């Protein structure tokens, strides 16, 4: 708050009324050990109509997180395992001939759900990836000359495994840009692993009790009203300038700008737009109705690092996308 020019807040109430959607954060945390960041990013993506790409090793509760999330808000959930023989119509649905009436009827595919988990997206062939990414961007599906609008909320959470690359179709840069967040998970600390063990063993020994814990806390209608509330969060010119400085820095512009040759592909305006939208939702989740530069700085790594491609020499020097974004954040003035 100290970073915010006082003129920005004088005409605005600073607190947001607690909303049913706010309850999702502690409820998710009760079901998961660690993973606060993933939970929060999911919620922000949901509030902004964004999507999320999760990279991490197997068995770190990616499925559990998304399933729990869907259940707590009573949303329709589906999981798709991507394989090389998947067809676009396996995702979108298709017209099937109905014998008794002698006409074609549309059978909706798994994309006609609220929360769609696509496991190992990089195993899906490019045509499937592009059908999926089109649905994510347009929020509608066109088959056989008819366009059908997807129901809101519609969120795609896609996973990819950082280790296995053989026989995969890596997402092209243009398609990575469609995801609001790129979250990277790692294996838990030993302390957390012990807590996971306790939690899962307790659930196994009392399976019915676990079902009761997972009753929905809000509905998809609450999500719609939360989205409206997020639209009302104030973002000052100073914060917008900071966002543009960060994106510009990936293009080598300004004080925090990357050095020539460090980055092969810089962030697009979609990065700035996503930073602004996500920062508003982040502020709202913290019960503030104005954005601070800190909201932006906290989200910047998960928004920017999927949108830049390092030069091969940078990579060869052992520097990661996250390192570069961290360096940009440290060197870019907030005001």
Ligand X SMILES: Nc1ncnc2c1ncn2[C@@H]1O[C@H](COP(=O)(O)OP(=O)(O)OP(=O)(O)O)[C@@H](O)[C@H]1O
Chain contacts with Mg ion (rule: CB under 5 A): 63
Using CA atoms, how far apart are residues 25 and 22, in angstroms rounded to an integer? 6
Give the shortest CB-120-to-ligand X separation in angstroms. Answer: 8
Two structure tokens written together for 205 = 């020994």
Residue 84 interacts with, from ligand X, Mg ion, none (CB under 5-8 Å by kind): none
**Among ligand X, Mg ion, none, residue 32 binds (CB under 5-8 Å by kind):** ligand X
Nearest CA among 119, 111, 117, 131 for reference residue 175:
131
Work out whether 28 is an interface residue with ligand X (CB under 6 A). Answer: no
Spell out the residues 6+ positions from residue 48 whose beta carbon is closer than 8 angstroms to its own: 180, 227, 230, 274, 277, 278, 280, 281
Nearer to ligand X, 82 or 266 (CB): 82
| Residue 63 is a binding residue for ligand X (CB under 6 A) | yes
Closest CA to 68 of 118, 27, 33, 40: 27
Residue 78 makes contact with ligand X by CB under 6 A: no
Contact flag: residue 168 with ligand X (CB under 6 A): no
Q: In whole angstroms, what is the distance from residue 9 CA to residue 292 CA?
A: 11
* CB of 38 vs ligand X, minimal distance in Å: 9
Q: How far apart are CB 61 and ligand X at their closest, in Å? A: 3
Q: Contact between 26 and ligand X (CB under 6 A)?
A: no
Q: Which stretch binds ligand X (CB under 6 A): 26-34, 129-137, 173-181, 209-217?
A: 26-34
Token code pair at residue 4: 């915010």
Tell me the two tokens of residue 31: 């079901």
Enumerate residues 184-223 that contact ligand X by CB under 6 A.
Answer: 188, 196, 199-200
Q: Does 32 bind ligand X (CB under 6 A)?
A: yes
Q: Which is nearer to ligand X, 59 or 261 (CB)?
A: 59
Size of the site for ligand X (CB under 6 A): 16
Buried b (16+ CB within 10 A) or exposed e, 89-102: ebbbbbeeeeeeee
Sign of CA dihedral 327, 266, 275, 81: negative
- What does the buried/exposed string (b/e) look like for 64-82 if buried means 16 or more CB atoms within 10 Å of the residue's CB? ebbbbbbbbbbbebebbeb
State the nearest-atom distance from the C-beta of 117 to Mg ion, in Å: 8
Task: Figure out which of the listed residues 58, 170, 232, 261 binds ligand X, where binding follows CB under 6 A.
Answer: 58
At residue 159, the 3 state secondary structure works out as strand
Among 62, 280, 282, 288, binds ligand X (CB under 6 A): 62
5 binds ligand X (CB under 6 A): no
Contacts with ligand X by CB under 6 A lie at 32-35, 58-64, 119, 188, 196, 199-200
């Amino acid at each position: 708050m100290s970073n915010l020019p006082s003129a920005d807040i004088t005409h605005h109430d600073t607190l947001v009324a607690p909303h049913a959607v706010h309850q999702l954060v502690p409820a998710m945390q009760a079901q998961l050990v660690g993973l606060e960041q993933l939970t929060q990013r999911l919620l922000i993506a949901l509030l902004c109509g964004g999507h999320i790409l999760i990279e991490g090793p197997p068995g770190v509760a990616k499925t559990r997180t998304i399933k729990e999330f869907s259940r707590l808000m009573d949303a329709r959930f589906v999981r798709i395992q991507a394989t090389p023989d998947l067809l676009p119509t396996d995702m979108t649905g298709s017209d099937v001939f109905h014998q008794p009436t002698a006409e074609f009827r549309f059978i909706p595919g798994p994309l006609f759900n609220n929360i769609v988990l696509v496991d190992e997206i990089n195993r899906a062939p490019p045509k499937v990836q592009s059908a999926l990414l089109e649905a994510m961007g347009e929020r509608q599906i066109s088959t056989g000359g008819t366009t059908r609008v997807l129901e809101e909320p519609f969120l795609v959470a896609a996973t990819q495994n950082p280790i296995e690359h053989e026989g995969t179709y890596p997402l092209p840069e243009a398609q990575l840009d469609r995801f609001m967040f790129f979250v990277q998970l790692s294996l838990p600390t030993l302390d957390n692993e012990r807590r996971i063990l306790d939690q899962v063993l307790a659930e196994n020994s009392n399976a019915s009790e676990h079902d009761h814990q997972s009753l929905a806390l809000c509905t998809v209608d609450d999500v719609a009203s939360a989205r409206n509330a997020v639209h009302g969060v104030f973002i000052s010119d100073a914060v917008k300038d900071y966002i543009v400085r960060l994106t510009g820095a990936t293009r080598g512009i300004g004080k925090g700008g990357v050095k020539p040759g460090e980055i092969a592909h810089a962030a697009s305006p979609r990065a700035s737009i996503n930073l602004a939208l996500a920062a508003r939702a982040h502020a709202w989740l913290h019960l503030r109705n104005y954005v601070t530069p800190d909201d932006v700085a906290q989200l910047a790594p998960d928004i920017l690092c999927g949108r830049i491609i390092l030069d091969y020499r940078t990579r060869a020097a052992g520097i990661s996308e996250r390192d570069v974004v961290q360096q940009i954040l440290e060197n870019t003035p907030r005001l």
